[in-house]
Structure 1
Amino acid sequence: MRRRGRSALRGLLAGCLLAVTAVTAGACGGERPETLVVLGPWTGPEGEAFEAMLHRLDDGTGQRYAYEGTRSLRETLVAQLEADAPPDVAILNSIGELTEYARANRLQPLDDGAAAAAARAYPPWAPALDLDGARHTYWVPLKVDLKSLVWSDEGRSAASPDWCVGLASQATSGWPGTDWIEDILLHRSGPGAYARWATGRLSWRDPRVRAAWTTWAQLLGKRSQASVDQSLTTSYVGTPDPAKPGGEPRGLLGSLSPRCTHEHQSAFIRYVYADRKVRVDPSAGFLPGPTAHDGAYEVAGDMAAVFSEDPRARELVERLSGGTARSLWRAEAAPELRPLFPAATDPQPTDPTGRRIAKILTEQARTLCFDASDVMPPGLRDAFHRAVLQYFKDPAGARLDTLLKELDTVREQTAPGAGQAGPPESGVCAPPGG
């Protein structure tokens, strides 16, 4: 009964997403297989490029795929799981969230081909998990985004930057601030302390963690109440640009009042500045303190996992992680939207900014560490987002010690040894070559 209800609901979703496709063999009298549904984080031009790749991926088999893109990914997936109608494949950026789903038996272990693709990617972000006495790989990275970057207009001096800050992001507001704190901790205290903190093995009240918060406040400097309010309500991609088709975002550089000069943001933001001459530099050069960890970089990833019992879903994940899918994805995407793929041997972006970022990723980085908040259990990650927003509103009066104590309470409820099986500490940072 569970399977029939789930299939019917998923079939309805696929029919809405891809009306021209027969969802089941009997729907229009044809012999086409049921459409597989993929849920992912990309919308707009990003989503269109990924969807176009999916439609070209059938290789003459007649298999059909429908893509649902949403910026509220966790909320959408939770609702579908509660309705017992999950997608066949979901693409998530949170290792902590994926680990929870695997522990709850929501994920299907991958076949050998997809597991091998995971092993070829930049380690270690598809670790084999020991669950119920068995060891399996449950997800595979499809693309990566290099963080630990600072953006500015070409020719702009790096001295005394005025930082652009936009913290609004629908249901996950605050993450541009957590990126800052993570990056500061990584560069000042090193990958070891970073990995212990990300996996719940280091207290939030540790002096190194506390110093990352206060350093962020010092870097941003004194801000007026109007500036604070603007940052709290401005999207991380800036406001719509009336000069661009469809009101595409203009980015934060030069668009906030008073005008800001530098932005701390992940590699994905390059599509916003595609028609603007920008400079991108490693963030380590802008952070105070020791420089021993300049070769460490934070990265984010988008991982595909199977929520369906249909074996074709596992086959799809294997194909998505292969060379054909990546070539098609690059062909369908505009130059500034071509992904950074999770292995140095994969084709990389061709636009100037993309090439610069790829060079940092493949030639300059000595250690890559996964986004710490995406390693954390969802409950702790969300508490981190909220605490950053409170601290940003008033760093002097936000009772930082109280915020860190509250985060420690959440950590203790989800830390290894509290009945949880989170990602291993060794699954956070590693050299790019393994």
Structure 2
Amino acid sequence: MSSIRHRRWIGPIAAAAAIGITLTGCTGDQAAQESANVDCGPYSDYGTFDSGTEVSIYGTISDVEADRLNESWADFESCTGIDVKYEPSKEFETQINVRAQGGNPPNLAIFPQPGLLAAQANAGYIKPAPDAVAANAKKFWSEDWQKYGTVDGTVYGAPLMASVKGYVWYSPSMFSDNGWEVPTTLDELLSLTEDIQKSGAVDKPWCVGFASGDATGWPGTDWVEDFVLRQQGPDVYDQWVTNEVKFTDPKIREAFDSVGDYIRNPDFVNGGLGDVNSIATTEFGDAGLPILDGTCALHHQATFYEGFWPEGTTVAPDGDVWAFLLPGTEAGANAVTGGGEIVGAYSDAPEVVALQTYLSSDTWANIRVKLGGVISANNGLDPENASSDLLKNAVGILQDPNTTFRFDASDLMPGAVGAGSFWKGMVDWIGGKSTDDTTTFIQDSWPQ
């Protein structure tokens, strides 16, 4: 880890005082890490704790990504003596409420929806962020990113990882063999889709999946959000998030119908997977795989989808798969949507403060990104630590001051909408419910 940049080398006593930790004597865990030659310099900020000290974390990150998450704090555990217990769940959005209301929350939770974090804050369940976390949020993230962890002027958490949404994955060799060009406008994307369909080179141009456990439907919301931002611009997008522009507004209905031109058209979906109705039951993680067997040509999904390709898949402009950003109405448009997570705390115990502070640091961001598959909007991140050219490009987009970035709209909306009726509405809509009826259903659920 000697290549990680932007470390803060602070004396252990001063650093511990800064985040409210009392240092203890050398533990057995410390002796073990010293014999393993772990460099504890970057972790001197966080203090040391008695053997058996545990911090629980609850989140949606699972499978390989969960393994990498555990690896990202392995040295932190060795150097501090804290045992981090991570619990993944596909029912996070439901169960975090159940656990908080039942008085059995985790110490920390990784919220993929700022709206859900805000609901927990407003209910008095999570703690305001410690000073060190708030300071890291201010130091390492833009004002836009800071506000995603802020509720009514109080910082409750700092961002963790990030993703750039709106990528369209494809096979470079398939494009080359058929003479297809990457589109630069939305009109060109529709023309490309029509050309692919007419060519007969694949089963259907697009492959799509909405299934995701209790969160089924969210991939559909990403489609709509991308089209709202590209067709209507950031001001309308922001007003939609706050309900100044309603779901029933013609501008939002236009986005639904534009998305429908692709994924409700039986001639265009669902390549290698079935008909339009199969979208609702196809796991989102599996939905892009037909590109590899040549039954589908295009798949809409975020940067994190790189981690879903089978082992041995080459992600490169001349590899097995690559991706382009969903274009705008005009060539060269720079508006993108994205997502991320916010770490909130249900406890202010010193060991919890230590881990929450570490997760808000540039040290953690560089370590996790270097392990592969993800990026971060932390401005202390060295883009060269990203594990592929695609992810390096995505980091560049996030760090480019000229990029018009907007967080995933459904994640910013009240939980009853963003993690409820919007998801359900997309499932009903892909099943044949009209745009008017779907948007009315979602709008009627907005909390009064």
Same fold (TM over 0.5): yes
Deviations 1:114-154 (A, max 9, x none): 112212214313327565xxx42001101100002111111
Using the alignment, how far apart are the partners of 2:135 and 2:258 within structure 1?
41
Verify: 1:308 aligned to 2:344, yes or no: no
Instruction: Find the counterpart in structure 1 of residue 436 from structure 2.
Output: 401
Deviation for aligned residue 1:318: 1.1
Using the alignment, how far apart are the partners of 1:315 and 1:165 within structure 2?
41
Amino acid in structure 2 at the alignment position of 1:154: P
Using the alignment, how far apart are the partners of 1:181 and 1:91 within structure 2?
25
Instruction: Find the counterpart in structure 2 of residue 267 from structure 1.
Output: 303
Q: Give secondary structure in 2 for the equivalent of 1:66.
A: strand
Moved more, 294-303 or 71-80: 71-80
Deviations 1:36-82 (A, max 9, x none): 11112211111011112223213633222211122222233223223
Q: Give secondary structure in 2 for the equivalent of 1:144.
A: strand
Deviations 1:348-378 (A, max 9, x none): 3132332233333334862110000001111
Instruction: Find the counterpart in structure 1 of residue 410 from structure 2.
Output: 373
| Distance 1:403-1:327 versus aligned 2 partners, 3 A rule | closer
Deviations 1:374-396 (A, max 9, x none): 011111121111111111122xx
Using the alignment, how far apart are the partners of 2:93 and 2:128 within structure 1?
21
Deviation for aligned residue 1:407: 1.7
8 A contact 1:89–1:308 mirrored in 2: yes
Q: Give secondary structure in 1 for the equivalent of 2:76.
A: coil
Verify: 1:299 aligned to 2:331, yes or no: no
Amino acid in structure 2 at the alignment position of 1:291: E
| Distance 1:365-1:272 versus aligned 2 partners, 3 A rule | farther
| Distance 1:234-1:322 versus aligned 2 partners, 3 A rule | same
| Distance 1:40-1:78 versus aligned 2 partners, 3 A rule | same
Of 267, 273, 281, the residue aligned with 2:324 is 281
Q: Give secondary structure in 1 for the equivalent of 2:80.
A: coil
Of 257, 261, 275, the residue aligned with 1:227 is 275
Instruction: Find the counterpart in structure 1 of residue 109 from structure 2.
Output: 90
Q: Give secondary structure in 2 for the equivalent of 1:38.
A: strand
Instruction: Find the counterpart in structure 1 of residue 257 from structure 2.
Output: 214
Using the alignment, how far apart are the partners of 2:65 and 2:391 within structure 1?
15
Summarize the alignment of residues 340-379 of structure 1 with structure 2, pairs less than 5 Å apart. 340-348=375-383, 349-363=386-400, 366-379=403-416
| Distance 1:354-1:346 versus aligned 2 partners, 3 A rule | same
Verify: 1:237 aligned to 2:280, yes or no: no
Q: Give secondary structure in 2 for the equivalent of 1:45.
A: helix
Q: Tell me the TM-score normalized by structure 2.
A: 0.74
Amino acid in structure 2 at the alignment position of 1:95: P
Deviations 1:189-241 (A, max 9, x none): 001100111122211111100100111111336217951232221111117xx
Verify: 1:193 aligned to 2:244, yes or no: no
Count of residue pairs brought into register by the alignment: 358
Q: Which runs of 5+ in 2 are unaligned?
A: 1-48, 183-191, 197-204, 315-319
Instruction: Give the CA RMSD over aligned residues.
Output: 2.4
Using the alignment, how far apart are the partners of 1:292 and 1:326 within structure 2?
33
Instruction: Find the counterpart in structure 2 of residue 151 from structure 1.
Output: 169
Deviation for aligned residue 1:252: 4.3
8 A contact 1:166–1:238 mirrored in 2: yes
8 A contact 1:57–1:325 mirrored in 2: no
Deviations 1:130-180 (A, max 9, x none): 65xxx4200110110000211111141242251211111111111111110
8 A contact 1:126–1:138 mirrored in 2: no
Instruction: Find the counterpart in structure 1 of residue 214 from structure 2.
Output: 171
8 A contact 1:188–1:291 mirrored in 2: no
Using the alignment, how far apart are the partners of 2:118 and 2:240 within structure 1?
17
8 A contact 1:295–1:364 mirrored in 2: no
Using the alignment, how far apart are the partners of 2:410 and 2:162 within structure 1?
16
Q: Give secondary structure in 2 for the equivalent of 1:217.
A: helix
8 A contact 1:115–1:137 mirrored in 2: yes
Using the alignment, how far apart are the partners of 2:245 and 2:438 within structure 1?
16
Q: Which runs of 5+ in 1 are unaligned?
A: 1-29, 240-249, 419-434
| Distance 1:385-1:367 versus aligned 2 partners, 3 A rule | same
Amino acid in structure 2 at the alignment position of 1:145: S
Using the alignment, how far apart are the partners of 1:43 and 1:315 within structure 2?
23
8 A contact 2:225–2:408 mirrored in 1: yes
Q: Give secondary structure in 2 for the equivalent of 1:326.
A: helix
Summarize the alignment of residues 375-394 of structure 1 with structure 2, pairs less than 5 Å apart. 375-381=412-418, 382-394=420-432
Identity of aligned residues (%): 23
Q: Give secondary structure in 2 for the equivalent of 1:58.
A: helix
Instruction: Find the counterpart in structure 2 of residue 326 from structure 1.
Output: 365
| Distance 1:293-1:190 versus aligned 2 partners, 3 A rule | farther
